Amino acid sequence: MTTPIEHEVEPRRGPSSSAVEQAGLRLVIRTDGAARGNPGPASCGAVLIDADAPGAWDPPARPLATISDYLGVQTNNVAEYTGVVRALLLAHELGAREVHLLLDSNLIVEQLAGRWKVKDAKLKPLHADARRLLEGFRRWTAVHVRRAQNTAADALCNEAIDRALAGGPASVVRRPAG
């Protein structure tokens, strides 16, 4: 496991800020990307979990929201990064103020930390999108986890490819009711 990266931004304070608004939703996010062939039919999956729920940090934790997206023909690294970007977009939509990424892609963790350069031209815009989205959170972390710790996101990847190749919808996003 790599050293976790952590980033915290001073919360914005203003006349309309409340204690609840300052606390905000905290999410544990597990993402994955898959390509059957490299490149090949590709997908991404993500589970977004309320970090304050019991067992939130356990791999089988019950998600608040999920993403299962078919991406067409892509490389595995593009699929991995796309999963992170789409999960961060959904986290913003849900009003999260803090996100904790648990990723089985060491490449992404190291690149988000700035320890590794982004050399692949296909990954540069995805990396820039991810960094821009992360800056919108009050606090974020990214940690590399073993693949076995990421089975829910992996299952959503496989579901997306199977569903799309069978003629189903390319994207299925489940959000909290209400």
- DSSP letters of 99-137? EEEEES-HHHHHHHHTSS----TTTHHHHHHHHHHHTTS
Mean predicted confidence (pLDDT) in 129-154:
97
User: Is the per-residue pLDDT at 9 higher than 50?
Assistant: no
User: Is the per-residue pLDDT at 149 higher than 90?
Assistant: yes
Q: What's this model's pTM, rounded to 2 decimal places?
A: 0.89
The better pLDDT of the pair 4, 11 is held by: 4
Q: What is the pLDDT of residue 108?
A: 98
DSSP label of 16 = T
pLDDT band at 6 (very low <50, low <70, confident <90, very high): low
pLDDT band at 27 (very low <50, low <70, confident <90, very high): very high
d(CA 137, CA 123): 22
Mean predicted confidence (pLDDT) in 20-43:
89
Mean predicted confidence (pLDDT) in 90-111:
98
Query: 104, 58 in Cβ contact below 8 A?
Result: no
Mean predicted confidence (pLDDT) in 143-155:
96
CATH numbers and ranges of domains, the chain: 24-54+61-174 (3.30.420.10)
